[in-house]
Homo-oligomer: A and B are copies of this chain.
């Protein structure tokens, strides 16, 4: 065992001609007659280490073994960082004994999602997969960061609820001591309570849908980026907020992750601030005119989402569109109406072919909520506790929710939302 003062590889440049200790995985390995080149990688970077082949041959080093190397940092103009490490001592911290289907340096673009998941730790060590989750973490970080700067408070609300927010279908039931409880489908009611208390709130957390169909864009458990804002007068204020929010996120990704992004997509992320907003009825007309669609009534389908993004791109240069004014009847009871013709103040954001956000303005008066419930044949008494909070100073408000996995998959042009989920869950998968 050598001395334990470790230097992260990313900080090595300041240690030229010094003796250092590094730890990391063997990322690449090339053994020549006299010299063995070992590229070692840690969370901060990678470096080439050069060893005398005779001294390491007996160790039979293998790719992906975690090692500790004592060595000297020497200038080397052929190396990327301008230096390499001359190995003095090397120890293997754990042996690789499993026959692995790929390595962290392999091209795994042809390997299927089932194998990726079965070898999740190893796949994460491979940049093509690991970077998906680094970019996802950056999306999440910047979502929170923007909102914090805009006076939003982060809240944490319970995922164990006594009933569903939207009527009770697709709920997972939990055996909760002597009774039943359910997994929350959305923090909707809680974030409205948050607005009534703190005016602007956001939550990043799991939501659950007992979705029986496993599709490339549905999961039973996904991570929802939720926000709710008080004292608005229209859903257009929520749309404007989302434009600014996503612009903030996209600009930072374009700047700080440009080298990673370009491995997944041709162009930088678009200027979402210029995305158009179209009325739902107008969308149906466009779909009729350009694609001869006559089958849509009260909602869009995945094909229509692709078609509308295509139209938005050809008209505005931005492959995204906010669709507002969905039929009230197809949206939850708390949705605010838009005019008197059955439209709602509910909107979706379609981005590069897929719906990534649902948002809108909500009803904020008790009498309106009661009427909306009655219109749907739901007795208001069953929501009495919820309704009471609208009598204690609830301001007009609205909000939105973004599915993180779906947004990540769109940003990185991944065909399946499971590729942007560390441990995806669907009807057929609860492992690993």
Contact = CB atoms under 8 A, between A and B. Distances in A.
A404 B155 CA distance: 12
A390 B234 CA distance: 54
B177 A121 contact: no
B423 A157 contact: yes
A121 B394 contact: yes
Given A172-B174, A205-B206, A391 B97 contact: yes
Given A120-B389, A141-B144, A190-B423, 10 more contacts: A23-B231, A23-B395, A42-B231, A43-B152, A124-B193, A159-B159, A160-B221, A162-B430, A172-B174, A173-B174
9 contacts: A6-B231, A93-B364, A93-B396, A122-B392, A134-B153, A134-B198, A144-B144, A160-B208, A174-B175
A65 B392 CA distance: 7
Contacts of A174: 172-175, 183
Contact of A175 (B141, B173, B197, B220): B173
Contact of A197 (B24, B125, B176, B234): B125
Contact of A159 (B66, B98, B221, B432): B221
Contacts of A24: 199, 231
A121 B8 CA distance: 47
Contacts of A234: 4
Interface string A282-313: 00000000000000000000000000000000
A156 B4 contact: no
A134 B220 CA distance: 31
A119 interface: yes
A364 B121 CA distance: 14
A146 interface: no
A423 B160 CA distance: 10
B160 A96 contact: no
Contact of A198 (B4, B124, B148): B124
Nearest to A366: B97
Interface string A418-432: 000011110100111
A205 to B, nearest CB: 7
Contacts of A183: 174
Interface in A195-227: 196-200, 205-206, 208, 210, 212, 220-221, 223
A130 interface: yes
B154 A395 contact: no
Give 4 nearest A-B pairs by CB, closest first. Answer: A124-B197, A121-B196, A98-B391, A66-B395
A344 interface: no
A160 B95 CA distance: 31
Nearest to A200: B43
Nearest to A428: B177
A160 B100 CA distance: 27
A373 interface: no
A29 to B, nearest CB: 13
Most chain B CB within a 10 A radius of its CB, from A23, A134, A160, A162: A160
A94 interface: yes
Contacts of A430: 158, 160-162, 176, 179, 181
